Amino acid sequence: MPKTLKELFEEAYTLESVFNINEIFDTKLAKTDWKLASSSSDKNEIAEIEIDGSRYQIKIEHLTYTDKNKNVHEFVNATFARWNGFAFDESLTLTTGGASKILGAIMNALRDRINHQKYSAIVFAATDNVEKRMKIYNSMAWRLLKFFANDYGLIENQEFDGGKMSILVRKDQDENAVEKIKGLIKK
């Protein structure tokens, strides 16, 4: 039987961070330009940023699910990738010395963009290089939770078809929200 949201929120978790916390909180970009994805039916948002001479892309994918009472809920899947010279590559693992700075810039850009929205959930899903990427996503999710703690709880390392995800879920969501979200995130 799946655990309730309350049970998942209450599970203890200790994070041994490899990141410089001050650098994460202090790294902000002067301006992040967000644009809609190129498809007219796609309302996903994309921002390209440059950090220490490397290009990165942040994508906020907008998705919806319907609860048992037929209410539609919007949630977002946040991803990021590094330019490899040919395309943006999501196999990024942030193993360089500037990992904290990169993570901070991405996290702060996401936080600033979603700050005043009432999303049902904020998802970080990994389908490639899952274990290393989830360390990054879990760290990012914990940092974001500090800003949204009154409204969200965090559920980490949830397996889904194709990978794992961490989910910041609004505390007012029904217990089926996580399962519905897992079904919508695909590789």
CATH number at residue 123: 3.40.630
Contact 167, 121 (CB under 8 A): yes
Contact 171, 152 (CB under 8 A): yes
Distance CA 1, CA 23 (A): 41
Contact 83, 55 (CB under 8 A): yes
Contact 98, 105 (CB under 8 A): no
Concatenated DSSP letters for 22-70?
HHHHH---S---EEE-SSTT---EEEEEEETTEEEEEEEEEEEEE-TTS
This prediction's pTM: 0.76
Instruction: Return averaged pLDDT per consecutive 10 residues of the chain, 187 residues in all.
Output: 50 43 56 61 77 82 87 88 82 60 78 83 86 84 86 89 88 83 74
pLDDT of residue 136: 81
pLDDT of residue 162: 80
Provide the domain limits for residue 57.
5-184
Domain count, the chain: 1
Burial 25-53 (b: 16+ CB within 10 A, else e): eebebeebeeeeeeeeeeebbbbebebee
Task: Kindly give, in sequence order, each residue whose CB lies less than 8 Å from that of residue 178, ignoring residues fewer than 6 positions away.
Answer: 2, 5, 8, 155, 158, 167, 169
pLDDT of residue 187: 46
pLDDT of residue 25: 53
